[in-house]
Amino acid sequence: AQKITQTQPGMFVQEKEAVTLDCTYDTSDQSYGLFWYKQPSSGEMIFLIYQGSYDEQNATEGRYSLNFQKARKSANLVISASQLGDSAMYFCAMREGPDSWGNEKLTFGTGTRLTIIP
Amino acid sequence: EAQVTQNPRYLITVTGKKLTVTCSQNMNHEYMSWYRQDPGLGLRQIYYSMNVEVTDKGDVPEGYKVSRKEKRNFPLILESPSPNQTSLYFCASSSGTSGTETQYFGPGTRLLVL
């Protein structure tokens, strides 16, 4: 089973509109973390936002917010007032662990390509 | 400036010719890892290291080796590259093991194996 599922391979959104990128996850760990990264066409991975499994409030970073629904195991990224520069690939990721050996693991989804239309 | 550096950024090689991609971080991070990114598959972890001399396999370790002799460096070695290792490779580091730290990614290395 996929640990991280991003069901939207691509999205086209009008500039200035809000956009929600879906992410669902699967883990039996009680303690885990959820991340969103942005990858522009230049290729680098840019950290956007983090949500811990025990955090009661949804994480926010500027125009980015994470809609964390623990019971549904979803961690959707919301971008408000989208801009042309938001066009990129977006990856959801989950960190599990550390386990009793100190090992931790980061698993990525397959990504969503977001295109902002002027 | 805090950063993760990778070299080379682009590499074209031939099947069977050993190569090393270097990764270095200047943040004194304990945790480092390597990923490969392929279309439709996202990023998959190749190897990771919790500290000096401590390495472990990720999801796709076959055909790769790593070493962690110093805290700042984590090279990825392809002893006998094959065309199916053509990919975009990322090195990443993070500060600890509490599970909350973000990973800092290098700029990526595009590898083409002919």
Q: How confident is the prediction along chain A (118 residues), in pLDDT tens digits per residue?
A: 679 999 999 999 999 999 999 999 999 888 889 999 999 998 888 989 999 999 889 999 999 999 999 999 999 999 999 999 999 999 999 988 777 776 677 889 999 999 999 9
Look at residues A2, A29, A13 and name the one whose alpha carbon lies nearest to residue A77: A13
> B45 in contact with A at a CB cutoff of 8 Å?
yes
- Greatest Cα-to-Cα distance within chain B, rounded to the nearest angstrom: 41
More confident residue, B62 or B97: B62
Distances (CA, A) of A35 to A25, A84, B64: 11, 22, 26
Please answer whether residues B3 and B102 qualify as being in contact, where contact means their C-beta atoms are separated by less than 8 angstroms: no
For residue B43 the two structure tokens come to 């990023």
pLDDT at res. A105: 77
pLDDT tens digit sequence for B26-81: 999 988 999 999 988 889 999 999 889 999 999 899 999 999 999 999 999 999 99
- Chain B interface disruption, residue of A45, A100, A103, most B CBs within 10 A: A45
Nearest-CA distance from A73 to chain B in Å? 18
> A109 in contact with B at a CB cutoff of 8 Å?
yes
Nearest-by-Cβ selection for A110 from B42, B100, B102: B42
Going by the DSSP 8-state scheme, the letter that residue A59 receives in this structure is P
